[in-house]
Structure 1
Amino acid sequence: MASMTTTANVQAARRSLEGLALGDAFGERWFPLFRDSGTVYDKILARRVPEEPHWPWTDDTAMARGIMRVLDEHGEIRQTPLANSFSMIFMADQARGYGSGMHELLPQLMEDASAWPVLTRRLFGGEGSLGNGAAMRVAPLGAWFSADLEQVVVQAELSARVTHAHPQGVAGAVAVAVAAALSVRGELSMRSVAERTPGGPVRDGLLRAADVPLTAEPRQAAELLGSGYRIRADDTVPFALWTATRHPDDLEAALWSTAEGLGDVDTTCAITGGIVAARTGVGAMPGEWLERRESLA
């Protein structure tokens, strides 16, 4: 049984979701410019806010909302209701940038959500997904259970396995959830996250990230750690956590630094945003960002 939920936990999870959605929507704005990576990088360095008047969020936020629905209803992760939540959200709006694995899995879960253990293991030739999808959506869960780090790990694993059967897909989710919990507690560090992350490439990446000075340029860190170009958890999570650790009390600076890494920038910014905002909220962000970001209502 999960730990008792407090009002403070729920508020931290709401803050995290708001930051995740803001990072997701902000990061997504850069993709149309990637045909000329030099131009987009220059714009990011110059801190030129994306010009579009409306910033929709993607599947990162859609699936995070699915997690929040289950937590609001049950106070813990229940896997078949979560599978049902994910599939219903997907079927209602499939144009959110879901990856190929979710386009295969989620329609099948709509037919039978209880079949998730079998269906999820069939993905990618029977290996299961080691992608960054379970990591990108999980920060609000970490904030929700932040009073109990053991529960953070357990609940993150439960949430990940509904779609990601590969151990490294699960490890990515654990790392992000633990980082969000530590952010709420004011205890965020790369090594503290690594200590609670299952062994393998994700944990190895976190330990490499712990040795990258926080004074390094974000693009240099991204070159060392990866920034999601391969859409794998181990190629995404370490850099996103590094930028969150670099700016634990400044959401705007954290998101700009994350964007400098390019790569899967909506997902890295969603992860960083969910971690940092679990502590800070979004109240200090520029008004134009908050006005342009698609509502969560």
Structure 2
Amino acid sequence: MEVRDRVPTADSAAARRSLAGLALGDAFGERWFPLFRAPARALAEIRARRTPEEPEWHWTDDTAMALAVLRVLDEHGEIRQEALAQAFALGYDADPARGYGRGMHELLPRLLDEAERWRELSRELFHGEGSLGNGAAMRVAPLGAWFHADLPRVVEQAALSAEVTHAHPEGVAGAVAVAVAAALSAQGRPDIGTVVSLTPPSAVRDGLVRAAELPFATEPWKASDILGNGQRIRADDTVPFAVWTAARHPDDLTAALWATAEGFGDVDTTCAITGGIVAAATGLDGVAPEWLRRREPLPGERAR
């Protein structure tokens, strides 16, 4: 993909709003996994909007990798793929127990010493097909917010960020879709149809077409049956539902996260994606102080 010479004005504030929402969604979603052994109880608690009881909500690899993306943008103003490979590897090396998937456990330790080989190593995953998982999508919303004034640039930069770990076209398409959704949110005009138009032809795009046609009156659990909920850990099984719930609640981060949790599945990832998209516009406005106190602070952030 050709990289243009000009770099549009970055919106660091929008990117940090998005990161804050992504981390909150990630940590909130992660709290539900123990209850999924008793799904009826978990669903009842989610529908009753009963806040998870744990005093500390820790974020996972979703946030760790989003932090790496934002670090590269802060340093370079754009995605530099070798620098991003190194940032991912350093984040993993600092705390490999953040819930990384099998492919990242294989790839990231190698990138620590061989970041310059990121392209080759990424393509070796999954028998040479590259990863079509949801990892590139879960971390990318702050990038979309950063470049939100220039949608073609969002598409370009999202693809570059995805390729470092997710060489399969579906993994790239998932990242592009989420980045565009976050950019539109930051612009104040969330629209699934525009996300569809800018997402490369793929199963992800096909899922987004279904999402664009699905009425917002649909119950979230039903929407997840139709669109997927991330249980298969594939981009096409994750991104359409998360984008739909974000578009359903563009001005209310808390409501968006509750609706996303109703879909079950890979809840930390779907909530991270939804949170990153919605918060690109809202930040943490309206979120209960109790939630903010419980969420693990981000690096350099004071505990609330």
Q: Which TM class, normalised by the smaller chain length?
A: over 0.9
Q: Distance in 2 between matches of 1:219 and 1:290?
A: 26
Which residue is 1:212 aligned to?
214
1:51-91 superposed Cα distances (whole Å, 9 cap, x missing partner): 00000000000000000000000000000000000000000
Q: Aligned equivalents of 1:163 and 1:37: distance in 2?
A: 33
Which of 266, 281, 293 pairs up with 1:264? Answer: 266
Shift of 1:4: 2.9
Please name the residue that 2:286 is paired with: 284
Contact 1:2 1:151 in 2 (8 A): no
Counterpart of 1:118, as a letter, is E
Match of 1:106 in 2: 108
* Structure 2 counterpart of 1:190: 192
Q: Is it true that 1:75 corresponds to 2:59 in the alignment?
A: no
Contact 1:246 1:254 (C-alpha < 8 Å) held by counterparts: yes
**2:257 is the counterpart of 1:238:** no
Say whether the 8 Å CA contact 2:8–2:150 is kept in structure 1: no
Match of 2:8, as an amino acid? M
> What is the CA–CA distance in structure 2 between the aligned matches of 1:114 and 1:38, rounded to whole Å?
48
Contact residue 55 and residue 293 of structure 1 kept, 8 A: yes
- Determine the structure 1 residue equivalent to 2:67: 65
In 2, the alpha carbon distance for the partners of 1:234 and 1:38 equals 26
1:200 Cα offset (Å): 1.2
TM-score of the superposed pair, with normalisation by structure 1: 0.98
In 1, distance between residues paired with 2:290 and 2:67?
23
Within a 5 Å distance, the mapping from 1:32-43 to structure 2 comes to 32-43=34-45
Matching residue's letter, 1:142: G
Give the match for residue 181 of structure 2.
Answer: 179
Q: Which amino acid aligns with 2:150?
A: D
- 1:5 is aligned to 9
Tell me, in whole angstroms, the C-alpha distance in 1 between the residues paired with 2:268 and 2:89: 21
Gaps of 5+ in 2: none
- Is the Cα–Cα contact under 8 Å of residues 142 and 182 in structure 2 kept in the other structure? yes
SS in structure 2 opposite 1:210? Answer: helix
Return the alpha-carbon distance in structure 2 between the equivalents of residues 85 and 136 of structure 1: 16
Change (3 A) 1:83 1:2: farther
Supply the AA of the counterpart residue of 2:134: N
Secondary structure, in 3 states, of the residue corresponding to 1:125?
Answer: helix
Distance 1:165 1:10 in 2: 27
Percent identity, please. 67
Question: Residues of 1 paired with 2:240 and 2:259: CA distance?
Answer: 14
Q: What is the CA–CA distance in structure 2 between the aligned matches of 1:247 and 1:189, rounded to whole Å?
A: 12
Q: Read off the aligned partner of 2:83 and give its amino acid letter.
A: P
Pick closer, same or farther for the CA change 1:175–1:194 going to 2, 3 Å.
same
Q: CA deviation at 1:188?
A: 1.1
1:44 to 37, 43, 46: 46
Letter of the 1:138 counterpart? V
Partner amino acid for 1:174? V
Query: Normalising by structure 2, what TM-score?
Result: 0.96
The Cα shift of 1:5 comes to 2.5
Contact between 1:3 and 1:148, CA under 8 Å: does it hold in 2? no
Separation in 2 of the partners of 1:37 and 1:203? Answer: 30
- Retained in 1: the 8 A contact 2:93–2:109? yes
**8 A contact 1:2–1:75 mirrored in 2:** no
Deviation per CA, 1:3-30: give whole Å up to 9, x if none.
2334xx1100000000000000000000
1:28 to 24, 27, 30: 30
Residue 264 of structure 1 aligns to which amino acid in structure 2?
D
Q: Whole-Å Cα distance in 2 between the matches of residues 206 and 37 of structure 1?
A: 27
Report the alpha carbon displacement of residue 283 of structure 1 after superposing the two structures with TM.
2.6
Structure 1: segments with no counterpart, 5+ residues = none
Q: Single out whichever of 34-43 and 57-66 deviates more from structure 2.
A: 34-43
CA distance in 2 between counterparts of 1:231 and 1:150 reads 27
Matching residue within 168, 171, 191 for 1:169: 171
**Structure 1 stretch displaced more, 175-184 or 32-41:** 32-41
| Segments of 4+ moved more than 4 angstroms | none
Can you list the C-alpha shifts for 1:141-182, whole angstroms capped at 9, x where unaligned? 000000000000000000000000000000000000000000
SS of aligned partner of 2:148: coil
Q: Which amino acid aligns with 2:44?
A: D
Give per-residue Cα distances to partners, 1:169-223, cap 9 Å, x unaligned.
0000000000000001112111110000000100000000111100110000000
Q: Residue 195 of structure 1 aligns to which amino acid in structure 2?
A: S
Which residue does 1:142 correspond to in 2? 144
Amino acid at match of 2:133: G
